[in-house]
Amino acid sequence: MNPFSKIIAILITVILIFIVPLLYMAQKQDVISQSYVSNKTTEFIDSIKNCGYISRDMYMDFVHNIDATNNLYTIDLVHGKKIVEPLYDETTGAFLEDYNIYYYNYYQDNILETLESGKDYKLSQGDYISITVVNRTKTIATKLMELFYSSDLPDEQIIVTYGGVIRDEMD
């Protein structure tokens, strides 16, 4: 066996013994982080749906919990306010016994502005709340895969979307 073949064999052995298991463990960590963030997001939104408001403490606890994964996240909250409009005949003005139902959306900035002022953000029964959580930093697995594949991969590896209708409202 010539020296070049020995070097190639040693490199392949190092890759198989060290780098592949390291990549596997890093990918498993991403799966665990995805599951953890998904569970915490579900708990947060279900809590909002059940009590009908978002408090600063609820939001900060959620952010603190997902930060435990050592990744940075972009959080997008959307509150769809249910609007019900009765329909009237344009010529007679008589009620047509029908309604238009639509949602007016309030976004993260509106919600956080209310929370930062020290007030709870209140939602009404029938409103819709949704959240999207996306990592904005590269995970260790992404960095290793970029090194291994010599290509640029997207940062977003942990993506969670959840939402639902408000069942109860704050008195």
User: How many angstroms from the chain centroid is the CA of residue 64?
Assistant: 14
Q: Which of 60, 29, 68 is nearest to 44 (CA)?
A: 60
In the prediction, which pLDDT does 171 show?
52
What amino acid is encoded at 56 in this protein? Answer: R
Question: How many CB atoms are closer than 10 A to CB 21?
Answer: 10
Q: Hey, what are 95's tokens? A: 């009620």
Average pLDDT over residues 162-168: 89
Question: Starting at the edge strand that comes first in sequence, how are the strands of the sheet with 159-165 ordered?
Answer: 95-107, 73-88, 128-135, 159-165
Rounded CA-CA distance 78/8 in Å is: 54
Rounded CA-CA distance 135/115 in Å is: 23
pLDDT in tens, 86-125: 888 787 877 777 888 888 899 999 999 999 998 999 998 8
Rounded CA-CA distance 130/163 in Å is: 4
In the prediction, which pLDDT does 23 show?
81
Rounded CA-CA distance 66/44 in Å is: 11
pLDDT in tens, 55-72: 999 999 999 999 998 889
* Higher pLDDT pick, 168 / 61: 61
